[in-house]
Amino acid sequence: MTRTLYAIIGDPIAQARSPEVFNQLFAQRGIDAEMVALHVGADQFETALQGLAALRNFGGAVITIPHKAAAARVAVQRSARVAVAGVANVLRPGASGWRADLFDGEGFVAGLRQCGHEVRVQSAAVVGAGGAGMAIATALLDAGVGSVAIDDIDRVRAEDACTRLSATYGGRVQRRGPTKADNLVVNATPIGMNEGDALPVVLEQLDPRALVADAIMKPPRTRLLTEAVRRGHPVQEGRHMLDGQAEAIWRFLAMGGAASDPPGVPSPQAPP
């Protein structure tokens, strides 16, 4: 039997933990499959997908920065979460094209709960309006957070994100940076992957009781989290976001067995 191949696609890709996590699961569960990391630039993403779709033993892909919005656009079928957030972090090939879903936010919320943190807080702030930020903001709103503030160095992207989420969640979405009013502050930017990166959040502006979380998985303890701990904040590492969604990704990609196409929203045209 031919080994089934899976991939995580991103640029950069060195920070990806998915091969480590899923290849360990394949070994534990006796499944002849392997996940590899593919370093693909933004201008070659769709070309890479065309090649992967031609492989009969390709089972699907986890999508990371900067391709999550493009993954939603190429899909012929999207989950309701993808339709709301406009981003996807998993793609599965189907007879008529790619199927897309979004589990980053679900994984982030599950990680909070698994670590004993309160999820239904009054106010949260998400720094970064890219794929991870949109997924996390959407999941927090679905989980019952009173309001979620969105901030991004790209003001247009931040405003677009707020407009998109406000269409579903109304006045529970705000356009601002983190403040002392926030019970939870999340870094959903790539700032912190590299040694010497500036802090993406001004910790002095936060309530000392606020939980500070990072979506970055490598390094596991970013400078932001190190400084937050030094100031007395509870913290959440990015690895919990993947750990919290691994089983959901496994089911969506039907790793180790055949599955019918997952339910979702048909999207013959690119999402807005």
Active-site annotation holder among 68, 99, 223, 233: 68
Cβ(81)–Cβ(105) below 8 Å: yes
Helix/strand/coil (H, E, C) string of the chain? CCCEEEEEEECCCCCCCHHHHHHHHHHHHCCCEEEEEEECCHHHHHHHHHHHHCCCCEEEEEECCCCHHHHHHHCCEECHHHHHHCCCCEEEEECCEEEEECCHHHHHHHHHHHCCCCCCCCEEEEECCCHHHHHHHHHHHHCCCCEEEEECCCHHHHHHHHHHHHHHHHHHEEECCCCCCCCEEEECCCCCCCCCCCCCCCHHHCCCCCEEEECCCCCCCCHHHHHHHHCCCCEECCHHHHHCCHHHHHHHHCCCCCCCCCCCEECCCCCC
Closest CA to 138 of 78, 84, 71: 84
Cβ(229)–Cβ(4) below 8 Å: no
Is 68 catalytic? The answer is yes
Residues marked active site are found at: 68
